[in-house]
Structure 1
Amino acid sequence: MRKTVIASALIAASIVLPTMANAADAAPTPEHTFTSNVTLASEYIYRGIGQTNRKPAVQGGVDYAHSSGVYLGAWGSNVSWLSDGSSTVSNSLEMDFYGGFKNAVGDFGYDVGLLQYFYPGSGYGNNPNTLEGYIGGSYSILSLKYSHAFSDLFGWTDSKGSGYLDLSATYELTPGLNLVGHVGRQKVKGDNSGASYTDYKLGVTKDFSGTVVGLSYITTNASQNYYTNAFGKDLGKDRIQLTLTRTF
């Protein structure tokens, strides 16, 4: 009888203990999450257009996320596109401030928010600081996002209401190794509608224990008349970009 009781107790323990261990392993999502990141890039390229005159960039940001889906963040990078070839402009930095809400319904994720681009400096013609609102969705390997300018877009005169549509896909080839594809359409309103263009990107990323290395081919059909800088460089021309990103 004693052996039967002991055996029953051992069987019960073998069932309950793994269940308890699994419950302990499934830690609850923290209410507040803070992360930061730093990137070294062979060139800062945004929406297919070079921002640093084909020179390297150092970038970094901080992010806060609440378990409800609310988030805030700030990001910065060196830039030169405003001051290249212009002795009257003093600017070497882009600062972005953003906030929004993202969540998921089943397998469909959604994201809405505001993004303020800020270029501290002086000597500008039309103000390059830009406020955009965005809405995006994701499903499986695909994501689609639309950004709408509530101000003039990056200094283009009378370009309020311009928009950018971004379709991207990320496919995991092997654990930690991803194939990334992207096509985007930048629509510039107003007298500078000729500055509208489509950009394309194809690349791979590899995660080395939290350090992500990216290698991409980027090209656009942007008009040279609008995107050739004072040094004669076509900022929308095809090129290769290498990035190294660490998240903390």
Structure 2
Amino acid sequence: MRVHMKYKSITFTPLLLSSVVSPCVMAGDNEFGASATIVSQYLFRGFDLSDEDPAVQGDISLDHSSGLWFSLWASTYDVVTDDGVEIDIAGGYSHEISDNVSVSVGFTEYTYTGDTDSTTEFNIGASFHDFSITYYSDQDLDADYIELGYEIAINNKSSLTLHAGRLDFDAGGDNNDYSITYAYDLTDNAQFFVAYSSNDLDIPGAEDYFIGGFTFTF
């Protein structure tokens, strides 16, 4: 789930929290997945993107056995004087070096039906057991973001995800954000989650938030 905290399929992709992993249906060398999320507030890297109102989100994904993947993610948004639907087109490649180590590269094109300009972001990441690190570079905003994540399995139905990120603009300015997410599988296709998000700015739109929601996979 971008819970980006996007609750992408909580990324919660894109807190993502952007992520609950959709069960996939095999089709040759491809795996298709889809999910729908209702979240009390759309957060992205510690920033409120829904004016503290609920958001509806969804995604479809395609994974190939070669490691190539593609996804389409969407969410309602409401920021300052602009609102509408955000549509993110993403793709990339991931490779498992061993059972516990993997690397990945990818891109995301952020587009909006309102007046917000689109941006393109590239990323590279690695995971070691339950720990992950990802570097993002936004080509239009001239900004870099580093994300650390750690997932703790509580039992076969629930888990905790710890997140820390740092945003730096080339022109100056930075921010650190943090979150903790608890997720519980209600059924094989439904998950409940709650999250707490905080960051260093503590200004309107970038405060301490508690959010919750449900994700349904298809």
Letter aligned with residue 244 of structure 1:
F
Relative distance call for 1:58 and 1:29 in structure 2 (3 A) is closer
Structure 1 residue 103: deviation in Å? 1.8
State the Cα deviation string for residues 189-245 of structure 1 (Å, max 9, x = none).
21xx23x20000012111122211111111011263xxxxxxxxx111101010211
- Counterpart mapping for 1:144-159 below 5 A: 144-152=133-141
Aligned equivalent of 1:64, options 45, 49, 62: 62
Whole-Å Cα distance in 1 between the matches of residues 41 and 114 of structure 2? Answer: 21
Which of 75, 88, 94 aligns to 1:96? It is 88
Moved over 3 A (4+): none
1:141, CA displacement in angstroms? 1.1
Q: Distance in 2 between matches of 1:150 and 1:134?
A: 11
Hey, what does 1:24 align to over in structure 2? none
SS in 2 for 1:169: strand
Counterpart code for 1:202: I
The answer to which structure has the higher helix fraction is: 1
Q: Aligned letter for 2:145?
A: Y
Amino acid at match of 1:96: D
Aligned to 1:9: none
Structure 2 matches for 1:1-248, cutoff 5 A? 30-81=28-79, 84=80, 86=81, 89=82, 91-106=83-98, 107-122=100-115, 128-152=117-141, 160=142, 162-190=143-171, 193-194=172-173, 196-208=174-186, 209-222=188-201, 224=203, 234-248=204-218
SS class of match (2:122): strand
Larger Rg: 1
Moved more, 28-37 or 65-74: 28-37
Determine if contact 1:96/1:118 at 8 Å carries over to the other structure. yes
**Which amino acid in 1 is paired with 2:179?**
K
Give the C-alpha shift of residue 37 in structure 1. 0.6
CA distance in 1, matches of 2:199, 2:55: 20
Q: Is the 8 A contact 2:166 2:176 kept in 1?
A: yes
Q: State TM-score, norm by structure 2.
A: 0.83
RMSD: 1.6
Structure 1 residue 30, shift from structure 2 partner: 4.8
Q: Is the 8 A contact 1:29 1:67 kept in 2?
A: no
- Aligned mates of 1:219, 1:235 — CA distance in 2: 11
Greater strand content: 2
Gaps of 5+ in 1: 1-27, 153-159, 225-233
Compute the displacement of 1:29 (Å).
9.3
Aligned residues between the structures: 191
Which SS does the other structure have where 1:241 is aligned? strand
| 1:212 alignment partner AA | Q
